[in-house]
Structure 1
Amino acid sequence: MAPRKPSGSVPDHGDWAVPYQPADIADLDPAAADRRGGIPKPPMPDAVYRVVETEGPIHRQVLLRHLGELLHKPRPSSISTSVNAAADQLRDEGRITEAGDFLDVTGRPCAEARWPLPGLTQRPVEHVAPAERQRALLGFVADRPRGLGAEEAVGEALAFFGWTARNTAARAKLMADLYRLRDTGALTGWPDKLETAG
């Protein structure tokens, strides 16, 4: 189970709200190490799968950046071809799925939304999967049934992901997510007294 939020950082919202946990690949193939620095060099498909398994749904650019950091590559672009080939191989094998630019473990529903831990690079709205943004919105509404309007739910989600109220791109995407949830019947009480359906 993911660690709970430290008090004072983000209000407690239950099991759907967790901190973003970065992946670790050091244990994947400890026998294969860079002799110059002792840095593990696991097979790329194993490394890609571990990051997707831990951090999914994950944007391909975030996957590339995180693998570059984990493999101590100063320029992630130097491994982009092998990372993308490994991700495509895993997708073709059915181990991971791709929705737009986001990768996740096949068959795993998005049950959590993740807030940024201090010291981690904050994800821009384009790097947070629509499913994760929608999970956060549904979580806020479920926490306060008929107590949130659309604008308030968007404001809660902005703060949760660490975005400012003036972030117009994030506000627009979150509002579009709310419309999708309304249109698919996941939310009722539009627009002033939202609640989750069934």
Structure 2
Amino acid sequence: MSGRLAWISVTMTLWVALLTGLIYALNIGRISPIEGARFIESMALCADRAHPSTCTDTPLPYHSTREPEDRNLTRTLVARVTFDTIPEAVQALYFPKFADSITVALNGETLFVLPADVRLWNTPLLISVPPALLRNGENTVALTLQGPASEGLELWQFHIGPHALLAQAYSTRLNLGLGIGRFSMGLMGVLAAALLLIW
């Protein structure tokens, strides 16, 4: 009995070490520039978009601050992206990581609204951008973050570029991030059940 217990304990320890090493090696959580796409590293945090004087440059990642009386938070961030010529291919906005709820607008047109009953906490998001919505010159990307004050709001660096390119990065992050997490939790559950049976 003690031999089996020792074997399972060693197996669990090795599995945790292997998984930790794999996650570290793949660096799944890293957010870095993607060749061929724009990398947005800062935005303007605005109390009122209609009054530019209320906007301040804010580097990403952004983490909200909480006032004691706040129960829910809403923050508006704006970025300017310039195109010398409008791309012919469908473009996309790729958000690797944010929390909690997000509304995305481009040049005043709403592209994405997250339903109130859905939460994408730190789940990547890919939004298609039809070329017809883009302008020669400056384009305005406006984001509204919302969520419980107790959990805070977050926005990490994001990308704008060809949909085909960013869709690949989105799928990789989604599958590796969620897939490895679910797989490891399932296997840990199986090992824990085996350990309980031996005990």
TM-score > 0.5 by shorter chain: no
Q: TM class, shorter-chain normalised?
A: under 0.3
TM-score w.r.t. structure 2 length? 0.26
Which has more strand, going by share of residues?
Answer: 2
TM-score w.r.t. structure 1 length? 0.26
Structure number, greater radius of gyration: 2
Which has more helix, going by share of residues?
Answer: 1
Higher relative contact order (CA 8 A, sep 6+): 2
